[in-house]
Structure 1
Amino acid sequence: MISGSRLDELLDQWEEALANGRLLTAEELCADCPDLKEPLAQQIATLQKIREKFETQSRSSYPLGVSEPTNVPQSSGDEASVSVMTSVDQLQLYATGGLGRVFSGSDTVLHRDVAVKFLQQQHANRPRMLERFVAEAEITSRLDHPNVVPVHGFGWTATGQPFYVMRLIRGETLDAEIDRFHSQPIRSPRAYHTSEFRNLLQRLKDTCNAIAYAHSRGIVHLDIKPQNILLGRYGETVVVDWGLAATVGREGRFRQNGEQTLNLMMTASGSSSSVQGGGTPAYMSPEQVIWQPPPGPPADLFCLGATLYKVLTGRPPYRGVRHPKAMTPDLARDFPLPREIQRNVPKPLQSICLKAMAMQPEQRYETALDLAADLDRFLGGEHVTVHVEGPGERIARFIQHHRRSAGLVSVLAAMLLIASVVSAARYADIARREADSRKSIEQLQAQTLASSARYAAEMFAGEIESRWTVLDKAAASAELREQLKKYDAGQKTEIDKERLQAWLGDQFLRYRDLNAASWFIVAADGTQLVVAPRKRTESEGENYSHRDYFHGQGRDFERGAVPETVRPIRAPHFSVPYVSTNSNRLKVALSVPVWPHEDGSGEPLGVLGMSTELGHMKVLENAVLIDTRPDRFEDRQQTGLLLQHPLLEKLNAAVTDEQRKYYRFTPEQLARLTGTDSDGHLDPAYHDPLQPDAAAQLAAAAPVIVHDWFATDERREKPTGLLVLVTQPSGK
């Protein structure tokens, strides 16, 4: 492995010298590693042959538009040939990639819009890049499939630069469609059954079919990702950028009837080998990272699964650079489950995603067609082969698939149930049944109430995670990073505060349905730069490094007594309550770090957050939200602060800010509601702190648990210290 890496470095040096007009020998390059001289000389000889072949082609070929047709054949037996004559003008830059640049243009003969891809100028004298570009053109042109862009022709410019002409696909990428779907928080599982989401799955299914066809021809793509899937305006799905594609042997089910192995004719070797380390780290398979075993069709299956991961969660499975040395020996899963990112993801789709992204190649789907078939089953409301359904899921799927029939069955079942109850009541021992029924009803009430509490806690956890997702996406803004980098570099006077204020105001208005009191930006030293809406600005310019939303240590420090070790948060955080400087009201804040780089590396540049006033944190209509974390309001450490209650907003509205009262649960109440007894956090004699004279009620509580996006082990559930409580009068 080390020698191979060193050999690649030497070849890069040889190509770079060649591009600068110097021809180095293997002896010169291997002065400090003589054992590599012979293999390097062989590689250089191969690259020189490639270079000579392309130079010959560029001299003997003509750019499109200057070729002349030969004689017209009179019968099928005549030996004749024609050269296609056309030209393309009005070239305008359309897109730029690592290997080439794509221009849009107009075919002057057939009067159609086309795309022309040229090799990047810096690669012009690099034989390996030349071969990759030519291989990409040939692979793309010979994969005759509706989901692969058609190639119209190949040629060389007058200066010897290769290019190829293909169909121009007008539209946008799958990545843009995914971002649009996830631009608003997903609060219900229904979002994953909308036509918008089903369209994303259909596009991915089309991609699977294209990749399955490529595999049947002995080609692997090795860079499948949402950015390389184009969506046309009229339903077209096109897989592009085959620059890393490699030829592989076909075995087993990859040998589809009627398909032949695609042997390249335009390259010197007759094949294409992918570059070690090539690919997009956020989506590529473990074998692409460590290059063991050499990537084959299963690597594309992993990339397809990683693309599905982003469809489901709105983010790729990995962030940052993935180093081979960081991979665990047993290749354990090193990314969070989709439902840990977005709890509303359907379980069958998570199962499909995890099957495709199995860390061991042999544990993934056998072919891309199998993956497409399971996606089709989900879209059709059928059982997904890789998912083990529970009884509840089976019933829900049946109802989803047979809505009218299920409705009729429900009516009939209800009628039969009523008839059986009436019949049983008529003949059974009335007294015994009444006692049993009362006990059963009480047990059912308790179970129902406990389920309601758990559901409310999950809903609130989903609200927290949705807000984190919104903040995390906003924190990735290049404009925000640019301004905070200036501040971090000591260029405080160069910050365009008006521009930053306008950006933050746009975010506040865009997500106003989240009912946030304000959005704010705090620099790495704790200084609050801007706040939106900009009604009262007493807080701007003040230092808030003492706030929990800044450092995430579970409590606010005293001003002027902040430890020197305090730094901005490195993960999404839900703060302890605090009294707002601007409104003098009790608030909590959700905050995320702002990183200097897109991959989340480096030290945070600051914090982006949103605050919410207590009483505005709606969970369910009649739910209560309690903070079990210690706080120091009223000059002493206490717990059990009431954050949300159906009556809280009404009580606060009736008094001035100075008269506002903090309502709490007693330690004894908290002990009953947070216990782990068999009653499941039930309090049969709950007394409401806001209604001390009211009768006792049956109450159930459940903790709010979120998913830790940055957990490094399997323990990804993160308690918030919040408790959701629902009640029901005991006499009912």
Structure 2
Amino acid sequence: MSASTENTTPMNRDSLLEELFDRWRDSSERGANISLDDLCRICPDLKFGLEKRIELFESGRLNKSMSDTAKVGDGDSQVLKTNSEINSLTFHAKGGLGAVYRATEKELKREVAVKFIHSNLVQDRESCTRFLLEAEVTGRLEHPGIVPLYGIGQAENGRLFYYMRYIDGETMDEAIVRYHQTRVGQGLATEQSIEFRKLLTSFVSVCKTVAYAHNRGIVHRDIKPANVMLGKFGETIVVDWGLAIPVARDDRFRTSGEMTLMPSSGSQNSTTSGGGAGTLAYMSPEQASNLAPTPASDVYSLGATLYKILCGHPAFSGDNGHVVRESVIDGRFAKPSERTRGVPAPLEAICLKAMKQQPKARYATALDLAADVENYLADAPVSVLSETIGQRLARWARQHRLAAQSLGLAAIVVVLISLLAAAWLGTLANSEQQAREQADQMRELAEVARRENLRTSANFLAQAIAYEIDLRWRLLESEAQSEQLRKSLLAINAAPTDASLWEPLQAWLNERRLLKGGAIKSSGWSIFAADGTQVARAPRARSVGQNFRHRDYFHGLGNDLQKDAPEAATLKPLEHLVAKTQDEDLVHLSCVYRTVNGDKPVVSFAVPVWSAPATVPGREVIGLLSISLEIEDFGLPENALLFQVDESQITHRSGTVIAHARLGKLTDSETLPSVSSDVIALGEQLRALRLKPGRGDSEVDALLPTFHDPVDQQDGLAAIEPVIVAARPEHIGDIGWVLVVRETR
């Protein structure tokens, strides 16, 4: 190239100007700044033209047009055309096929992401076909886990582009790196941390998004953490569908009823071969062998993604691509537990199952993979790991803390008594008379210890149940302070028929149950508006949208009303308790009832949602936040039962048994059993005494020498203790339940 361009023809000048502009664009896309003087060093007379070209580009004069056909008027067809202008482009990121810019759509004043094909690929037919295929697949896959595409067009310089929703957040790869940099100690010491569970929850969302694509007949081919965006508000988005191809669907992927997606972009060859494409570290063995991919290939890549979540780095890495490819094909990689200490065995088993060398040995679908990870998050067994007896016992102890604590305390008492007895026997006199006397004393001591042990077990277990009740109230009280919850309920109460206002509240409730629900057992979390309508439930159920103002957990009258009772129409949340309870003490445990979502005895814990913080005078209750619980989930040991002193609204009798390890399901054809009248009377006496200042523990013996269990028909010595939440006012803490613990044989 000469130092001057005076003799250059107009065509050559245009080509040279285009080359300089492309060099400037490539530099900008890499995030580097290059001066125009350096660019035009050998052709300074082109600097003015280059400045104008750059100014034209940066002004954002990108136009997108779209058309659709609609029936209007008398049925005549017309084409409706709309135009959008996109401006204020700022470089954001760069990939193999194109570069992404943040921009603003002028008409709607919304922030968007614009992806351009690289300048050097504009004339490459195969690259343009891939770019158009990526846009079409992204636009036609309609799923919350896939970014919405707004439109496609061509810039004035001929570069193809499409624009879509801008996701403000980070990639899953960045989140994984940050988690492993900040976790405490070696291994997964923080496996139950919020950040780790968030990563696993996002991974489940990725699996379900990929499963949707498979049900539409699309294989992504490049699943990896860098191709997953995590939004600031919980969004999990699978991006970069540039390598996606359609595949034939078998029966596994037809049951959902989704229509097969057959892209119009691209040739037959480009959509049916597809071997070898993808990212090597996450590529399946069949892709690395240049074989045609299947949904099982994406399942493998999902397993490789889970591997990085567990270890902080991919299963395969290295500078020599050929060696890495051979390792992928042969399935040679270290187990997660061999590279990172403390990897949970269930998650490692799930990861290795998904990364099996043979496609048929992997999970059949991405949904099956998601289900196993969800089981792990719920502390349930996974399908790919046989648990030892010790692991099963550990899970039982986690899920039945009350029973485990009670049995542990009883064992300690027995051991202590045995030690005392052994020490006592060691001091027995040698004489026969002294031996007999000592033996009599030991029998008396053992009998006293036996009875005291039973009393202690009943007292401890009753206090443990009271603690579990108060724990749920305190959790709900904390969550009810949410400003988002308060504002959403105010909006719903102002427009009670607008169901669109419920969805943000549903999302909030799902998030809170996910973050806090692991600490306690529950059947579901619910939110009720001021008129008694259930506006959100986690997990979502058919009860959402129904009105429950007749329920005791809503009004606090002590029993449910008939659903169509006239007095129910005017009731307000916890109306019966508001007048006699301080705001800070206002909580409620409902009577035992049947739900519309199940058939077992259930209670609900409810707290009010106030219209303003406690410091604001004149505030009022605008709704309820509640947790429902099947009573059997208190996890009573097999030798214990709970009965209700007051008349039950289910059986219309006093003394109804509401919890027992062998109670079974509550059905219309069965009647819940009741304890005898003398047991009810003793429960009433102890209930009155325990509510007195000083408790009066010694005034009534809590032992029943011959208690008859009405469920398993066994007789024996038993201790009785009312369940009272001592930390609450009497009319709140006295819930009307009595516990019976029977001596085991």
With structure 2 as the length reference, what TM-score do the two structures score? 0.46
Bigger relative contact order (CA 8 A; separation at least 6): 1
